């Protein structure tokens, strides 16, 4: 068992000098067999009673086991909707700690319910699909649209690499895609800093850079167990960066806006990280052309394409079953989703002709 300690080991806002909130709710991330981790937190003194959230799949993967070990109440999650999260928040009043066992759907609903009910939150991911494992935001659907709700991060996250290694391949690819997207999101944040004087945190930046290093290292490792452990750590560090600044700004830029547009208009769900990676590819080339502060040598769009290929992410829109016309509209209109979050799409708005050419230039069509 290995423990990553955060909490008071993270610098305060004053020590960092950024002026942002520097939430330090996440105390520890425990990496190792789930049984040992659960015994540790019980000994550590995490308060019960526990409410354990899971869906039909994750109940069999780990939910039943967690519920038995913690002697907790069980709650099935149907979907990542704001309405269900609100409903669950009412039902868990009286529980001291809520435990989310699952992927993005379960963790986001459990995180929101914990925040609304005033309970502690513990995340136990069953797939390494995105960086919500340790972030302070919950991504939920309402009226067919994805909305982000500010909540609180977990106090503890339990990572069992043997469980994550057995997740479906497309969910692992999604996790890698979510980290690949940080190549663009970090530069979008710096664009806001440099051109609008937006608050910026060097500590959060260092965690995003660490998540990128872990992602690249993971993609060079053949051993599946170690590969997944590095991926999970990368997702954790991205979540910590968001926790420090109190928003998704370090880890969500133009590429995430494009993904949100697809969520609203695609009519089916493509894994979040895969959408973000597909969007990061043209956004990288767009940054290269119109942002003087783009990466020097590390991450041009061709490098991103290589990383996507290693991660098992589709390299064309056809392969991802996303229409060319819809992606063109996403590139042109996605900035409207968050008009106040400055990105390369806000700096220089695309028209349909240029957007289509951009997709061709990066070989997505």
Q: Which tens digit of pLDDT belongs to each residue from 291-344?
A: 999 998 889 999 999 999 999 999 999 999 999 999 999 999 999 999 999 999
Q: Are 123 and 100 in contact (CB under 8 A)?
A: yes
Dig out the tokens for 252 from the structure: 């969500």
Alpha-carbon distance 331 to 259, whole Å? 10
Tell me what pLDDT residue 321 has. Answer: 96
The fold for domain 169-361 equals: Dehydroquinate synthase-like, alpha domain (1.20.1090)
Using 50, 70 and 90 to split pLDDT, how confident is the model at 50?
very high
Give the ranges where the chain is alpha helix by DSSP (H). 13-16, 34-44, 56-58, 64-70, 82-91, 104-117, 161-165, 169-180, 182-196, 202-219, 224-245, 254-265, 272-290, 301-311, 317-320, 324-333, 344-347, 352-361
Supply the mean pLDDT for the chain: 95
Report the pLDDT value the prediction gives residue 147, as an integer from 0 to 100.
Answer: 78
CA distances from 40 to 1, 74, 160, 215, 359 (A): 10, 21, 13, 28, 49
DSSP 103-138: SHHHHHHHHHHHHHHT-EEEEEESS---GGGS-SEE
CA-CA distances (angstroms) from residue 353 to 328, 329, 331? Answer: 9, 10, 11
- Check whether 36 has a pLDDT greater than 90: yes
pTM of the model as a whole: 0.94
Task: Provide the token pair at 7.
Answer: 């909490």
Q: What is the pLDDT of residues 248-292, one digit of tens each?
A: 999 999 999 999 999 999 988 899 999 999 999 999 999 999 999
CATH classification number, 2-165, choose in 3.40.50.1970, 3.30.70.1290, 2.60.120.260, 1.20.200.10: 3.40.50.1970
- Residue-wise pLDDT tens digits, 55-91: 999 999 999 999 999 999 999 998 888 999 999 999 9
Residue 67, both tokens: 């519920």
So what's the pLDDT on residue 249? 96
Q: What is the pLDDT of residue 310?
A: 97
Query: Is residue 181 predicted with pLDDT exceeding 90?
Result: yes
Whose structure tokens read 């993904």?
A: 259
pLDDT score at 133: 87
Q: Where are the domains of the chain?
A: 2-165, 169-361
- Taking only the tens place, the pLDDT of each residue in 201-231 is 999 999 999 999 999 999 999 878 899 999 9
Buried b (16+ CB within 10 A) or exposed e, 250-280: bbbbbbbbbbbbbbbebeeebbbbbbbbbbb
């Amino acid at each position: 068992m290995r423990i990553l300690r955060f909490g008071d080991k993270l610098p305060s806002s004053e020590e960092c000098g950024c002026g942002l909130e520097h939430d330090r709710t996440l105390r520890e991330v425990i990496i190792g067999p789930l049984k040992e981790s659960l015994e540790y937190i019980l000994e550590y003194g995490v308060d019960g009673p526990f409410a354990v959230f899971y869906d039909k799949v994750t109940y069999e993967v780990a939910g039943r086991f967690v519920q038995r070990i913690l002697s907790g109440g069980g709650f099935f999650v149907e979907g990542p909707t704001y309405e269900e999260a609100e409903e669950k928040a009412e039902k868990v009043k009286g529980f001291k700690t809520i435990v989310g066992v699952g992927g993005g759907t379960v963790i986001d609903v459990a995180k929101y319910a914990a925040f609304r009910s005033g309970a502690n939150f513990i995340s136990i991911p069953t797939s390494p699909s995105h960086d919500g494992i340790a972030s302070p935001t919950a991504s939920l659907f309402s009226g067919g649209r994805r909305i982000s709700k500010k909540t609180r991060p977990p106090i503890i996250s339990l990572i069992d690499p043997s469980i994550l290694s057995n997740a479906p391949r497309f969910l692992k690819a999604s996790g890698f895609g979510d980290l690949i997207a940080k190549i663009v999101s970090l530069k979008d944040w710096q664009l806001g800093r440099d051109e609008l004087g937006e608050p910026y945190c060097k500590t959060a930046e260092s965690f995003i850079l660490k998540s990128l290093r872990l992602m690249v290292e993971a993609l060079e490792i053949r051993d599946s167990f170690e590969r997944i452990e590095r991926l999970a750590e990368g997702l954790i560090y991205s979540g910590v960066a968001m926790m420090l600044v109190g928003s998704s700004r370090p880890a969500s830029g133009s590429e995430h806006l494009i993904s949100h547009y697809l969520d609203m208009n695609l009519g089916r769900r493509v894994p979040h990280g895969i959408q973000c990676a597909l969007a990061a590819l043209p956004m990288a080339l767009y940054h290269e052309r119109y942002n003087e502060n783009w990466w020097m040598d590390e991450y041009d769009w061709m490098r991103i394409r290589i990383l996507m290929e290693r991660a098992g992410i589709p390299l064309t829109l056809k392969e991802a079953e996303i229409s060319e016309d819809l992606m063109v509209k996403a590139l042109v209109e996605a900035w409207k989703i968050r008009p106040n979050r400055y990105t390369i799409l806000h700096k220089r708005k695309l028209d349909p002709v240029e957007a289509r050419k951009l997709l061709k230039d990066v070989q997505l069509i």
